[in-house]
Structure 1
Amino acid sequence: MNDLEAQLVGIIQEDFPIEARPYRHLAQAVGVTEQEVISTLASLRRRGVIRDLSPVFDPKKLGYSTTLACMKVPADRIDEVSGIIGRHVEVTHNYLREHEYNVWFAIVAPGPDAVGRVIEQIEEETGCGPIRSLPYSRVFKLRAVFEVTGE
């Protein structure tokens, strides 16, 4: 990641400008053109550095249900299964852990029934199951900001 990319990722994690032309504002902050900002962010997205650029809402305040789910996936199927999980728009993130239940992911959907349907779909699509669902009762992690360098 070059210095411009690192600067932009650092800014958009914590202080994305809420205004009519946010990319122009970002361009002024880092000393490049608006088009350079747009091109750079598009490149980061194509390369998988940025998965998405979107607001973060409190799901509970919007009437949504959230669960942390986990499943046992054979080592030789982890990439395949993680890809299937990641295609579900209700999945906010998924990650690997060193545990019997080695693939973990969060689901946010409009109510517990919708969460259940997503879990059933993932079980059916992957052939891995059962999925353990651990519904959120309270939030411990409020935000995540990753340190980014140009190296």
Structure 2
Amino acid sequence: MSIYFYGANPVILAKLERNLKAWYPELIIAGSHAPPFRPPTARKAEMDIKVINESGASIVFVALGCPKQEQWMAKQVGKINAVMIGVGAAFAFHSGEVSQAPRWLMKLGLEWLYRFATEPRRLWRRYLLNNPLFVILFALQLIQYWGRSLMRFDRT
């Protein structure tokens, strides 16, 4: 299967492709594209889709960051003839541009803390606002689900 990389920047993509080819010589990279940070025009978006489809890639790895990559992939459903997978910072990690947390921190589930310490200006909103809000909303949804389940259980 061939793969396509969408996201990051040209430097990261070049290093990523070089590293992956060294690690996996049989890997088929159909193409890559680093879109600009601004939203694309309708014409540019159509061209990106055309290039991806013509590449013949079976899998498109998307690294635009959360939630941008999820929104982009949702808009491309039915337009791109490949499986799309959001990979966040994976391009930056595997290119060697950004260092990953030490393994012991990963094992403790604290990679987020390492990333926050290394990039606080970029990640503060995600870790201090978005993530707690997600946990609260998830908990409320879980409580609502349990409540419904208990109501059905009491009726039987």
Q: TM-score range by the shorter chain?
A: under 0.3
Alignment TM-score, normalising by the size of structure 2: 0.24
Larger radius of gyration: 2
Structure with the higher fraction of residues in helix conformation: 2
Q: Does 1 or 2 have the higher relative contact order (CA < 8 Å, sep 6+)? A: 1
